[in-house]
């Protein structure tokens, strides 16, 4: 088995090392990750800047590693195109992220985007995120290995990948719950500051507002101390609204909507 591992916390993050060490006995491990922190990069790619790739030594037996001066998606795209042409990857893993990725977090997360890019290439993919602080990476990595072992026999539909979130404690005994995404919004706060030259700038410090309903979602599961497992897909079309729009817009032969 050939496993590609990436993240958005950077090639030297503690979480990616823990994940690589946990799964290296499954086969060949190739780590390709950003050279610096790239959190909240979503599914962005680098178009107008040079991408630099350097081989690095992580000291993990049997693993090779490369740092990329780009986003997590750049990392996966480069790895699949440059390293996977002759010997394709069998599995893409992303994380272990420093922080949970629940509900609408998946829209912004580079950790989720790396796994999603693997899925778009037809490779089974799983993203792992850890609640904290503190961040018990060793416990999360051990649980991640058990989850990988369990899902290896599961067929992944096209462009589908898994988002796994660990609670911050008692991970070894935490139950697994397969759940949908929850509802979560943010109180957007931009702290105003001044730089060394006197220019005003802003730093985002938004706080998550969790759902209050006791529904069975990823947010609820992790808040109860469980490990949430959520299958995600990039099929964004709202099928129900297609029917509504056809009924409404189909009555206008010139394609315009009445104001």
The model's pLDDT over 53-72, given as tens digits with 9 standing for 90+, comes to 999 999 888 899 999 999 99
pLDDT reported for residue 256: 58
Q: What CATH class does 2-183+213-249 carry?
A: alpha beta
Tens place of pLDDT for every residue, the chain, 259 residues?
A: 999 999 999 999 999 999 999 999 999 999 999 998 888 777 888 888 899 999 999 988 889 999 999 999 999 999 999 999 889 999 999 999 999 999 988 898 999 999 999 999 999 999 999 999 999 999 999 999 999 999 999 999 988 999 999 999 999 999 999 999 987 766 777 788 898 999 988 887 767 666 655 578 999 999 999 999 999 998 888 888 888 888 888 766 555 555 4
Q: Which long-range contacts (CB under 8 A, 24 or more apart) does 175-178 make?
A: 175/226, 175/227, 176/147, 176/226, 176/227, 176/229, 177/216, 177/221, 177/226, 177/227, 177/228, 177/229, 178/229, 178/230, 178/231
The full set of domain ranges for the chain reads 2-183+213-249
pLDDT reported for residue 259: 45
pLDDT reported for residue 52: 94
């Amino acid at each position: 088995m050939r496993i590609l591992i990436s993240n958005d916390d950077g090639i030297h993050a503690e979480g990616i090392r823990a994940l690589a060490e946990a799964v290296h006995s499954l086969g060949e491990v190739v780590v390709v990750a950003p050279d610096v922190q790239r959190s909240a990069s979503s599914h962005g790619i680098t178009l107008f800047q040079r991408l630099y790739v350097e081989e690095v030594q992580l000291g993990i037996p049997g693993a090779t590693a490369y740092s990329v001066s780009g986003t997590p998606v750049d990392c996966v795209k480069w790895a699949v195109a440059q390293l996977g042409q002759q010997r394709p990857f069998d599995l893409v893993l992303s994380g272990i992220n420093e922080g949970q990725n629940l509900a609408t977090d998946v829209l912004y997360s580079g950790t989720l985007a790396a796994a999603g890019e693997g899925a778009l290439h037809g490779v089974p993919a799983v993203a792992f995120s850890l609640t904290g602080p503190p961040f018990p990476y060793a416990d999360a990595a051990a649980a991640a290995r058990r989850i990988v072992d369990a899902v290896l026999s599961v067929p992944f539909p096209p462009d589908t990948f898994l988002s796994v979130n660990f609670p911050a404690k008692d991970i070894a005994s935490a139950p697994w719950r397969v759940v949908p995404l929850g509802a979560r919004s943010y109180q957007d706060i931009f702290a105003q500051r001044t730089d060394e030259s006197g220019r005003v700038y802003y730093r985002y410090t938004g706080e998550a507002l969790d759902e209050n309903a006791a529904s069975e979602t990823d947010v609820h599961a992790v808040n109860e101390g469980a490990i949430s497992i959520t299958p995600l897909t990039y099929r964004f079309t709202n099928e129900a609204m297609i029917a509504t729009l056809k009924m409404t817009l189909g009555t206008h032969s010139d394609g315009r909507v009445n104001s």
